[in-house]
Each structure stands twice: as C-alpha cells, then as structure tokens.
C-alpha cells in the first residue's frame, strides 16, 4: 500500500494547496530576513563611505604614505589652513599609533590565548562536573566588566604593582629586539596585559564550545590505545578543535584592536614611537577618543582623526575576514567526517600479537 507523506493544515488541505494569501507569511519572513541581512551590509558600506569622505582631506593634503609611515604626530604647532603639500606644516603621522595598536594586540594574543585555551580544556576535560558550571559562569562574567573599569584597575593597581616586574623583564631580556629600556609605568606591555584579560572570556567561551563538539569516539580511541589524558588531548582534542580555537583567537584579536578606553588609560598617551614594549605609546582608537573634542574647530585635524579611524576600520575588517576564511577552509578540509580530526590516532595501529 503506497503511503503519501503530506502535511495537513486546518480545513483538511495540504500545504501544497495553500492559496497565495496563505503563503504570505512565508514570503514576508523570507524577504524580511533578507532585508535585515542586506541592511547590515548597507550599514557597513555606509560607515566605510563616511570614513573615506571625511578622511579625504587628510590624505589629499598629507599623502597616504606620509600619513601612514611618518613618526611625527604633533598637534602643538598646528596652523589652521596651512598647506601640507610641501611637508612644511605636516604634523600628522599615524605610524606610532599603528604600531601601538598592533603591538598591544599581539601582546594580548601571546598572553591571553594560551590561558584561555588552557581554561577551556580544564573546564571541558578535567574539571569536576559539579564545579564546571559555576567556574564557566565566573570566566564569562569577565566579559560583563566595563572597559573603563579595566582601564582604571590597570592604571591604579597594575601600573605601580608591576613596575618592578616590567623593569626586571626589560633588564633580563634586553637582548631581544623592541625590548629593554627604562620602565615608566604605563606601557605597551601593560596595555597588552589588560587586553589579554579582556579577550580571555570570548576566546575561552568559543574554545569550550568547539572542544565540546569533539566526537567521544576520538577520545575513547586514544585512551584505548594506552594514551594518557594529556596525550589524548594532544592527539584527539586539539587537532579537531584547532580551527575553532584559531577563529576564537582572531575574534579576540578584533576585540583587542578596537579597544579604546582601557588602552587609553594604561598605554601612556605618547604619540611618539617608543623603542621598547615597556615604554609609553598610543593606539589608533586611543588617539581618536582623546583628541576628537579639540579637533572639532580644525578641519584638517578632524580629518586626520577620521583617517585614523579608517585605518582602524580596515585593520579590524581584515582580521575578521582572515578569521572567517580560515575557519571555513579548515572546516571543509579537516572536519569532514572527522577523518582527519586525530591524525595521531588514525596512524596508530596495534602491534600484532605473537602467534
């Protein structure tokens, strides 16, 4: 007897027999969601258009190359309406802020990502079941702390407490490039440390979710072959979760690149490029936040801050695009069927027993 699977609605009619008016909610939902998605793209394009329009004066007078790579951001001698074509009155070079943004973000990744991944591994694989929930909530609550609180805490508590530690690090590893020198308190290193604490919740949360998706068969296979708990994590868990962990780290990098108030408090505010990570500096977001008020009356000054915002926008967009591309490619290549999730296990074969 042939069975027909149909969905019946009120009145005894099939969904296929609905009138155009009955299918109207589906069409509204479809086009409504498409409109919302398109609105996000339009909003993003609008941001980019405004930044390009407002920064055109700065790039036209100073030049893109000079603005990006000169180390001379000095607003004390600004002359309103002065021509910058010859370079005689050009006092805006964003290179110190670009370096400050990238340096503090890199320090945050180096310090924060290993701690976040280790926290995720402990909560997922080693933590007792009763304590797993409360500890996860405590880690996630770090994301609820306002940025200004992190900045004040870093400036009031960390800067004086860690000054001796920073000086010891500077003296001990002075042979490294971009290292050494006299510590002044606020510095690139201190800003990176505060950013590491700020990105820890998002990287840890994403890592926990990805590690939780590792198939139990992979872990059980490793343990069945005689692997220790650490070997099981190294061979079965980390290879499978690596794309997601990397994507979480890149999202944390995007958060670190765009952070403003916390960095402005603890980086020092110097618009001259420092020669050590233990010296004071400035970031793109920090210089925009601190100087935009006084730039309102000077068109060229205001345009340079929009140009700095455009550079920051491009950096953040590139970070997110790279993260998305890596996660998609890794998901297509390594996790299809879970075959390449644990190469150490796939290659391991039990030795034949003697006859």
CA 315/CA 305 separation, integer angstroms: 15
The answer to whether the beta carbons of residues 344 and 223 sit under 8 Å apart is no
Could you tell me if residue 111 is inside a domain?
A: yes
Could you tell me if residue 37 is inside a domain?
A: no
For the whole model, what pTM was predicted? 0.80
Residue 140: pLDDT above 90? Answer: no
Name residue 62's beta-bridge partners.
none
Could you tell me if residue 59 is inside a domain?
A: no
Could you tell me if residue 241 is inside a domain?
A: yes
Name residue 14's beta-bridge partners.
8
Residue 179: pLDDT above 80? Answer: yes
Contacts of 174 (CB under 8 A, 6+ apart): 180, 181
Could you tell me if residue 2 is inside a domain?
A: no
Could you tell me if residue 295 is inside a domain?
A: yes
Could you tell me if residue 84 is inside a domain?
A: no
User: Tens digits of per-residue pLDDT, 83-106?
Assistant: 444 444 557 888 999 999 999 999
The answer to whether the beta carbons of residues 221 and 347 sit under 8 Å apart is no
The reported pLDDT for the residue numbered 323 is 76
Encode 288-308 in three state secondary structure: HHHHCCCCCCCHHHHHHHHHH
Is residue 69 very low, low, confident or very high in pLDDT (cuts 50, 70, 90)? Answer: confident
Q: Look at residues 219, 236, 244 and name the one whose alpha carbon lies nearest to residue 330.
A: 244
Could you tell me if residue 300 is inside a domain?
A: yes
Q: Which one is predicted more confidently, 342 or 171?
A: 171
Q: Look at residues 39, 42, 46, 51 and name the one whose alpha carbon lies nearest to residue 315.
A: 51
Mean pLDDT for the stretch of residues 196-211 = 91
The reported pLDDT for the residue numbered 191 is 92
The answer to whether the beta carbons of residues 272 and 258 sit under 8 Å apart is no
C-alpha torsion sign, points 140, 141, 142, 146: positive
Question: Residue 12, by phi and psi: left (phi above 0), alpha (psi -120 to 50) or beta?
Answer: left
Residue 348: pLDDT above 90? Answer: no
Contacts of 94 (CB under 8 A, 6+ apart): 67, 68, 70, 73, 284, 304, 307, 308, 311
The reported pLDDT for the residue numbered 320 is 81
Contacts of 339 (CB under 8 A, 6+ apart): 346
Residue 157: pLDDT above 60? Answer: yes
Arithmetic mean of pLDDT over the chain: 81
User: Tens digits of per-residue pLDDT, 185-197?
Assistant: 888 999 999 999 9
Structural domain boundaries enclosing 326: 95-335
The CATH number for 289's domain is: 1.10.3720.10
What is the total count of domains within the chain? 1
Q: Look at residues 59, 44, 45 and name the one whose alpha carbon lies nearest to residue 303.
A: 59
C-alpha torsion sign, points 63, 68, 72, 73: positive
The reported pLDDT for the residue numbered 101 is 92
CB atoms within 10 A of CB 185: 16
Mean pLDDT for the stretch of residues 294-309 = 85
188-211 and 163-172 are packed helices; what angle lies between their axes, rounded to 10 degrees? 90
Residue 10: pLDDT above 90? Answer: no
User: Tens digits of per-residue pLDDT, 104-124?
Assistant: 999 999 999 999 999 999 999
User: Tens digits of per-residue pLDDT, 35-44?
Assistant: 999 999 999 8
The reported pLDDT for the residue numbered 189 is 92
């Amino acid at each position: 007897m042939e069975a027909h699977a149909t969905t019946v609605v009120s009145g005894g009619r099939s969904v296929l027999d609905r009138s155009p008016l009955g299918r109207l909610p589906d069409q509204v939902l479809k086009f409504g969601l498409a409109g919302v998605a398109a609105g996000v793209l339009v909003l993003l394009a609008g941001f980019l258009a405004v930044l390009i329009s407002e920064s055109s004066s700065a790039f036209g007078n100073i030049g893109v190359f000079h603005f990006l790579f000169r180390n001379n951001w000095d607003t004390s001698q600004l002359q309103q309406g002065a021509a910058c074509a010859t370079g005689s009155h050009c006092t805006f070079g964003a290179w110190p802020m670009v370096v400050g943004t990238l340096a503090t973000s890199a320090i945050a990744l180096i310090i924060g990502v290993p701690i976040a991944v280790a926290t995720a591994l402990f909560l997922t694989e080693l933590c007792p079941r009763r304590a797993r929930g409360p500890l996860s909530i405590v880690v996630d609550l770090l994301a609820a702390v306002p940025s200004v609180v992190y900045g004040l805490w870093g400036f009031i508590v960390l800067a004086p407490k860690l000054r001796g530690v920073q000086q010891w690090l500077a003296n001990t590893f002075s042979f490294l490039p971009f290292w050494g020198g006299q510590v002044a308190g606020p510095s690139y290193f201190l800003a990176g440390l505060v950013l590491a604490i700020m990105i820890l919740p998002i990287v840890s949360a994403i890592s926990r979710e990805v590690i939780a998706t590792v198939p139990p068969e992979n872990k059980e296979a490793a343990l069945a072959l005689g692997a220790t708990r650490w070997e099981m994590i190294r061979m079965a868990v980390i290879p499978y979760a690596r794309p997601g962990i990397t994507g979480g780290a890149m999202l944390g990098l995007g958060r670190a690149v765009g952070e403003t108030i916390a960095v402005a408090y603890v980086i020092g505010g110097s618009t001259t490029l420092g020669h050590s990570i233990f010296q004071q500096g400035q970031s793109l977001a920090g210089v925009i936040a601190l100087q935009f008020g006084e730039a309102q009356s000077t068109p060229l000054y205001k345009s340079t801050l929009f140009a700095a915002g455009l550079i920051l926008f491009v950096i953040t967009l590139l970070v997110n695009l790279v993260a998305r591309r890596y996660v998609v490619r890794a998901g297509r290549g390594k996790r299809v069927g879970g075959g390449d999730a644990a190469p150490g296990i796939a290659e391991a074969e039990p030795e034949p027993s003697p006859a």
